Amino acid sequence: MSLADEPLTRAAAVREIGIVLFDDVEELDAVGPWEVLAYWTLNYPQDGYRVSCLSRDGRLVTAAKGLPLGAHHAIDDAPALEVLIHPGGQGTRRLLRDASYLDWVREQRRTVPLMTSVCTGALVYAAAGLLKDRPATTHWGALDELRALDPSAHVHDDQRWVDDGDLITSAGVSAGIDMALHVVARLGGRDRARAVRRGIQYDPAPPT
């Protein structure tokens, strides 16, 4: 049974989606999924989901190109999550060496039904052991790095996202928008995802 198949009762709590923020996160890795998911949850509250952003201490972070991004919660104070989205960016390289942070990621794996990543967020998942013997992808420039971090991972270099049930990884930067629309389709249905895509007028075409 998919997450969308389980009906919400009147008394059921809103299901929480969290997007992790950290210094040197790639802006669109976080803001792209935010746009998709915020449009969905604000315009279709009857679906029963809410999205928020988390940072380690609940404070602002400075993204890779200098944009300040605010968090709603510190990671230790965040509500129980149904979905976790881990963006990428240069800041992930520090996280790969941060034992306490990787422990936190592993704890999320034990409690969060659906873990997703954008771009080099997959490297953090690999460093935490989440991708062992599993299919995954990341930014094209980090595919070899992903293979080196976990040689057992089945790395796909030609897909925008890879859905392996309770784990979804996506390719770089703008691919997070596609992945987030796929999450909407999984949780809210394809018609809802189409409505969100139209609402944000996302219809990419190659440059001319």
For the chain, domain boundaries: 12-196
Q: How many CB atoms lie within 10 A of CB 191?
A: 9
What is the identity of the amino acid at 30? Answer: A
Query: Catalytic residues, which ones?
Result: 119
Residue 13 confidence (pLDDT): 82
Looking at the predicted structure, is the pLDDT value of residue 205 above 80? no
Looking at the predicted structure, is the pLDDT value of residue 172 above 80? yes
pTM: 0.92
Q: Give me the mean pLDDT over the 61-71 stretch.
A: 98
First to last CA, the chain: 43
Choosing among 3.50.50.60, 3.40.1670.10, 3.40.50.880, 3.40.50.300, the CATH entry for 12-196 is 3.40.50.880
CA distance 87 to 69: 13
CA distance 73 to 78: 5
| Beta pairing class for 15-20 and 83-86 | parallel
CA distance 58 to 81: 16
Per the prediction, the chain carries an average pLDDT of 94
Looking at the predicted structure, is the pLDDT value of residue 6 above 50? no
Q: Give me the mean pLDDT over the 143-155 stretch.
A: 98
